[in-house]
Amino acid sequence: MTIPMHDIVITGFSTITAAGAGLEPILELIRSGRDALTPVPAEHGSGRWGKALGFKATDHIPPLKTRKLDRCSQFAVAATGLALKDAGITRDTLPAERIGIALGCGFGGVANSAEFLTGYFADGADGASPMLFPNTVSNASASNASIEYGLKGPNVTQVQRFCSTESALMMACRFIAEGRADIMVTGGVDDLTPLMLSGFAATGQLRRYAEHFGEGCGLLVLESAEHAAKRGATVKGRIDDIRTVGLLLPGREPEGIDHLLGGCGIPDVISLSGTARVVPEFEERIHGIPSLDTGCVTGHSLAMGGVAMAVLLASLLPGQFGLHLAASPEGPYFAIRFSGGASVQP
């Protein structure tokens, strides 16, 4: 499937990762060949993870509100505020019903679900904390962000393994194209807990798809070009098209790759997310093109594609063409084309 984009631009973005808040720490690590991964606590196995140890929710959210949010929601609320500020959007200056949010999320709510169910199994209904329950679901992050900033437009959460963020971005573009929103905050958010590491170890994933897992949030602010022009917003990039296939069929892999990568020319920069970096057919086609693999720098997860796309956009000069590739082991596969906009300073 190919979805052409003729008038959707990016006017802001933000990231919160193991490298810190903002894009400059990630870009500096990439330039220096270093990473922000740290050793996994010994009691939970070996290896390294992208834990956002420096993140303090109270730097972005009032303490009273912070206590009511799970960690995943804290990431989303903080990053949404940073992205809206970067796009020059302040509360009550634009119609709230025309601003929405679409997030990808892989494991949001797991920690609170575990705590909620532990209390229930230990003490029955009396042990099930009502304070925990609202944050036991994956869509809590998008909901809490919309409540905090008064976003009353479309609100959706996608959970589609390693392509959760890309699926959310595609839906956000659809909302704008259909006239259901003027502005969409979109991207992905995930947290990482020792309980998850135990689960990965039990299923043999710590040396496979869960290796170097990370946490954080990466968001883009999408806007119709007409709306951005009317409010005098700085355009920081443009979405040219989104191509996706559900599965690379055995024996027909070149056909699927041609659909994703064919006819678009050679990109200046490529970003990789999910398991795209280990898809042999991708590797053959992009060999020699400068690539950004943020998963090796800040950790990867089911919904960290937003970080990869934000870093790609921050790396593009005006007129340059960037390609974002994302994949899950069993599909889908995404190729999203971006054009560089105005000069971007993280």
> Within this chain, do residues 122 and 267 fall inside the same structural domain, yes or no?
no
In a domain, 3, yes or no: no
Average pLDDT value over all residues in the chain: 89
Task: Summarize the confidence of residues 61-85 as an average pLDDT.
Answer: 94
User: Are residue 49 and residue 196 in the same domain, yes or no?
Assistant: yes
pLDDT tens across 201-211, in order? 888 877 788 78
What mean pLDDT is predicted for residues 112-124?
Answer: 77
The answer on 192 and 170 residing in a single domain is yes
Is 345 within the bounds of a domain? Answer: no
Of 44-48, 121-125, 128-132, 288-292, highest mean pLDDT:
288-292
* Residue at token pair 């990568």: 261
Which of 202, 230, 258 is a domain's end point? 230
pLDDT for the residue numbered 2: 56
For residue 346, what pLDDT band results from cuts at 50, 70 and 90?
A: very low
For residue 318, give its domain range. 239-340
SS3 state of residue 234: coil
Question: What is the structure's pLDDT at 170?
Answer: 95
Which domain-ending residue is among 169, 197, 230?
230
Tens-digit pLDDT profile for residues 144-192: 999 999 999 999 999 988 999 999 999 999 999 999 999 999 999 999 9
Query: Buried (b) or exposed (e) across 113-145, using 16+ Cβ within 10 A?
Result: bebbeebeeeeeeeebeeebebbbbbbbbbbbb
220, 279: one domain: no
What pLDDT does residue 159 have?
Answer: 92
Question: pLDDT-derived band of residue 1, with 50, 70 and 90 as boundaries?
Answer: low
Alpha-carbon span 142 to 152, nearest angstrom: 11
Same domain, 208 and 243: no
Q: pLDDT tens digits, residue range 194-237?
A: 888 888 888 887 778 878 899 999 999 999 999 999 999 999 99
**Is 195 inside a domain boundary?**
yes
Query: What confidence tier does 345 reach under pLDDT thresholds 50, 70, 90?
Result: very low
Range from 128-132, 268-272, 326-330 carrying the lowest mean pLDDT = 128-132
Asked if 279 contacts 332 with a C-beta cutoff of 8 angstroms, the reply is no
Q: Are residues 128 and 59 in the same domain?
A: yes
Confidence at residue 22, expressed as pLDDT on a 0 to 100 scale: 94
Predicted confidence at residue 114, as pLDDT, reads 77
Say if 66 falls within a structural domain. yes
Q: pLDDT tens digits, residue range 285-312? A: 888 889 999 999 999 998 999 999 999 9
R_g over Cα of the chain: 19
**% the chain with pLDDT above 70:** 96
My answer on whether 139 and 221 are in the same domain is yes
Domain-terminating residue out of 211, 230, 249: 230
Q: Is 221 exposed, middle or buried (0-12, 13-18, 19+ CB in 10 A)?
A: buried
What number of CA atoms fall less than 13 Å from residue 289's CA on the CB side? 22
User: Distance (Å, rounded) from C-alpha 326 to C-alpha 194?
Assistant: 26
Does position 343 have pLDDT exceeding 50, yes or no? Answer: no
Residues 225 and 251 in one domain: no
Q: Are residues 64 and 165 located together in one domain of the fold?
A: yes
**Longest alpha-carbon distance in the chain:** 62
